[in-house]
Amino acid sequence: MNETFTLVLAGMAGVLLGVIFFGGLWWTVRKGVSSPRPAVWFLGSTLLRMTIVLVGFYFIGRGHWNRMLVCLLGFVIARFIVMRFTRTPVERPNSAAKEASHAP
């Protein structure tokens, strides 16, 4: 029971780390594209995001491969969550667009 609870917490922490990483990437791209100095945004963001994720994985794993694996799974799941929430309105499917595409 205790090991299962630890793995669940590791998965939730992986999701949190993934949201921080991929959400930060999305935010950086939006800010960096319109910035006069995009290299500073991208380099600074990469260093900060990687540091947070690596330190998080280090403390969550603590030498246990199964915690690390579950944390990685949560991290990958967070990628899909962030992709879903950060889509532009053009990318979001709706029923009107589907009906219009099937018109003769």
Q: Among residues 72, 67, 62, 58, which one has the least CA distance to residue 3? A: 67
Domains of the chain: which residue ranges?
A: 13-87
User: pLDDT (tens digit, 9 = 90+) per residue, 20-69?
Assistant: 999 999 999 999 999 899 999 999 999 999 999 999 999 999 889 999 99
Residue 92 pLDDT > 90: no
Average pLDDT, rounded, for the chain: 88
What percent of the chain is modeled with pLDDT above 70?
86
CA–CA separation, 66 and 14 (whole Å): 13
Q: Among residues 71, 55, 90, which one has the least CA distance to residue 7? A: 71
pLDDT in the model for residue 95: 54
* 0.85 surpassed by pTM: no
pLDDT in the model for residue 63: 87
